[in-house]
Amino acid sequence: MSLQHKPQFDKVQCRDGFHMSVQASTTHYCDQRDNVGPYDSVEVGYPETYDYNLIRYAEDPDDPTETVYGYVPGYVIHMIIDSHGGMKSGELPPLTYKEPENGKKEV
Q: Which pTM does this prediction carry?
A: 0.86
The reply to whether omega before 38 is within 30° of 0 (cis) is: yes
CA distance 66 to 20: 11
CA distance 6 to 98: 24
- Which tens digits make up the pLDDT trace of 21-80? 999 999 999 998 899 999 999 999 999 999 999 999 999 999 999 999 999 999 999 999
Q: Which candidate, 45, 51, 35, 90, places its Cα nearest to that of 68?
A: 45
CA distance 23 to 37: 11
